Amino acid sequence: MKTNKLCIMRLSKYKSALYRLKSLGFVRIFSDNLADAVEVTSSQVRKDFSIFDISGNKRGGYKIDELIEKINTILGKDELQKVVIIGVGKLGSALMHYTGFEKEGIKIVAAFDIDALKFKHKDKTPVLPLAELPEFVRKNNIKIGIITVPATAAQQVVEIMLPAGIKGVLNFAPIQLRGNDDCQINNVNLEVELENLIYFVNVLIKTKGK
Amino acid sequence: MKTNKLCIMRLSKYKSALYRLKSLGFVRIFSDNLADAVEVTSSQVRKDFSIFDISGNKRGGYKIDELIEKINTILGKDELQKVVIIGVGKLGSALMHYTGFEKEGIKIVAAFDIDALKFKHKDKTPVLPLAELPEFVRKNNIKIGIITVPATAAQQVVEIMLPAGIKGVLNFAPIQLRGNDDCQINNVNLEVELENLIYFVNVLIKTKGK
DNA sequence: TTACTTTTGTGATATTATTCACAATATATA
DNA sequence: TATATATTGTGAATAATATCACAAAAGTAA
Ligand SMILES: NC(=O)c1ccc[n+]([C@@H]2O[C@H](COP(=O)([O-])OP(=O)(O)OC[C@H]3O[C@@H](n4cnc5c(N)ncnc54)[C@H](O)[C@@H]3O)[C@@H](O)[C@H]2O)c1
Ligand SMILES: NC(=O)c1ccc[n+]([C@@H]2O[C@H](COP(=O)([O-])OP(=O)(O)OC[C@H]3O[C@@H](n4cnc5c(N)ncnc54)[C@H](O)[C@@H]3O)[C@@H](O)[C@H]2O)c1
């Protein structure tokens, strides 16, 4: 089964579009509609589905509920995903208090910091000393961590997370982190995102003549 | 000149690596070193440079300062980029008070909201009523906006930004926004990023046998 | 039932991105 | 100076990804 990152990202987007379409009263959907919603071609949608043996009905399209179910299974969303955050600063606390992840079955169960002023042992989502991370992660069988510490601290945080058993990291520090074969590290680099946008806006302005 | 999004993103990453290498005392650099820093192949690095007619010295590599300069020119970073934020909630204010963008020549000059409690007319980076956005954007010749409003409000915010002259949008609301030919909309969808990570972690765990 | 229409599912094809591989050449060395 | 060596720059080859295009199936209508 050939899969790639972009294809998996599209599956997420299809799902999100499906929830929206469902809430609008749709029960069945065609590859065309989904394509419009996610801004890809309809053959892209069908090809993606075909990779995962998702099939619909010729002429009848796809049943939204079944489709959501199937995509969730593929994405591994059968059970609640527990996630920890390391670094409870501006960005870390925004993410920590964001409720939008829960509807996707993602729950932030704890956060960690080295600044004693941030500790909140008794909160619903506690903020704990970084030193307690390994034990917490092992006890609660956590696989995923979000890094929102300064760039200078990020690699050293990874070195603590790996032996603790973390298998996936979403890193917001603007630095390329090194994992190992047992751990997938994805980076969200907002500086890079903004620079990219600026480049294409400049191209746009130039080609359109202001 | 053929360019694509990934290539531009790599340029940003090269630049960021170059700053780091420079601060470590390096003056010249080889495609190999950059490749390591950004985790791509050295031929990828050279190919990217070749697309933009960036050339080094056979056997002598590239001079870091010149390289940074050239990349900045390509990325359109000759002058300070002024950016506005719409939606001063948890995420919006984290971004607004983040100082890391300034070292990249990106300055958040104002933010907008509809909640009167958020307004800060006198702050260094003011928070203004959304209604004032068109005038502010025109007067200050702003081209880039960051959207951090709830998904339900995001499209309507775009409709206000487009006629005001915004040419590039970085959208954090988990919804596919529609722009037009005059405006580039890039999405940062953290739900999708997390789901993607979860997928690949599951694959990893399965293939490695726990 | 039959004819007609719509939409899927997927090989074949086209496009795009990456890597290979090596001639050209700048630098270092003796 | 000549020789050896490392590194670039880039076409050609390969790999990855997306689109095309159409037969097959399923629904609709008469
Ligand atoms: N704030 C933003 O909007 C934004 C935007 C883009 C990127 N980032 C990146 O995200 C990261 C966090 O940014 P921020 O603005 O929230 O920073 P911040 O300074 O507000 O917060 C950083 C937090 O990390 C904690 N910390 C420091 N070292 C630690 C360690 N070794 N272990 C655990 N915790 C540690 C600090 O105590 C602090 O609470 C940075 O790498 C930044 O570059 C932030
Ligand atoms: N907080 C996070 O960590 C996080 C993570 C992922 C995605 N997001 C997305 O980012 C967006 C913002 O999230 P948040 O947690 O900061 O939300 P929030 O509720 O804390 O803030 C939203 C802000 O937008 C303002 N607003 C609402 N409608 C507006 C309008 N029409 N014009 C201008 N301002 C308006 C509100 O007054 C509020 O200040 C949401 O779309 C959310 O889904 C947030």
Which residues pair with residue A144 across a beta bridge? A83, A168
Chain B residues inside the 8 Å CB shell of A183:
204
Cβ of A17 within 8 Å of Cβ of B176? The answer is yes
- HSE of B24 in the Cβ direction (CA atoms, 13 Å)? 10
Tally of residues, chain B: 210
Say if ligand 1 is within 6 A of residue A119 CB: no
Which protein residues, judged by their CB atom, are less than 7 Å from any atom of strand D? A 2, 4-7, 40-41, 43-44, 46-47, 57-60; B 30-32, 42-43, 46-47, 49-50, 54-62
The dihedrals phi and psi of A92, each to the nearest 5 degrees, come to: -55, -45
Sign of the Cα torsion A206, A208, B2, B8 reads positive
Chain A residues inside the 8 Å CB shell of B21:
none
The DSSP 8-state label assigned to residue B80 in this structure reads: P
Domains and CATH numbers, chain A: 5-74 (1.10.10.10), 81-192 (3.40.50.720)
Cα A5-A65-A68 angle, rounded to 5 deg: 15
Give the residue from B15, B147, B171, B197 with the most A CB atoms within 10 Å of its CB, the best one to mutate.
B197
pLDDT score of B207: 84
Cβ of B196 within 8 Å of Cβ of A106? The answer is no
State whether residue B47 is helix, strand or coil: helix
pLDDT in tens, A82-125: 999 999 999 999 999 999 999 999 999 999 999 999 999 999 99
pLDDT band (50, 70, 90) for residue B210: very low
Structure tokens at A137: 């992660």
One-letter amino acid of A38:
V
What's CA B42's distance to the chain center, in Å? 24
pLDDT score of A53: 96
Shortest CA distance to A119 belongs to which of A153, A88, A83, A160?
A88
Other residues' Cβ atoms within 10 Å of the Cβ of residue A162: 17
Shortest CA distance to A89 belongs to which of A97, A80, A100, A81?
A97
Using CA coordinates, name the residue in chain B closest to A88. B94
pLDDT in tens, B15-39: 999 999 999 999 999 999 999 999 9
Task: Tell me the pTM.
Answer: 0.96
pLDDT band (50, 70, 90) for residue B96: very high
% residues pLDDT > 90 (chain B) = 92
pLDDT score of A2: 67
The dihedrals phi and psi of A193, each to the nearest 5 degrees, come to: -60, -45
Which residues pair with residue B84 across a beta bridge? B110, B145
**Distance from residue B30 (CA) to nucleotide C20 (C1'), in Å?**
19
Shortest CA distance to A137 belongs to which of A111, A116, A103, A115?
A111
Tally of residues, chain A: 210
What's CA A192's distance to the chain center, in Å? 18
Cβ of A104 within 8 Å of Cβ of B75? The answer is no
Query: Least CB-CB distance to B90: which of A76, A97, A143?
Result: A97
State whether residue A87 is helix, strand or coil: coil
Using CA coordinates, name the residue in chain A closest to B79. A198
Shortest CA distance to B75 belongs to which of A193, A37, A141, A142?
A193
CA distances to A151, A169, B16, B98 from B92, rounded to whole Å, are: 21, 23, 24, 10
Structure tokens at B169: 């949008």
pLDDT score of B203: 92
CA dist A82 and A142 (Å) reads 6
B24 Cβ contact partners less than 8 Å away, ≥ 6 residues apart: none
* Ligand 1 pocket mutation, candidates A84, A85, A88, A91, criterion most atoms within 8 A of CB: A91
pLDDT in tens, B174-186: 999 988 889 999 9
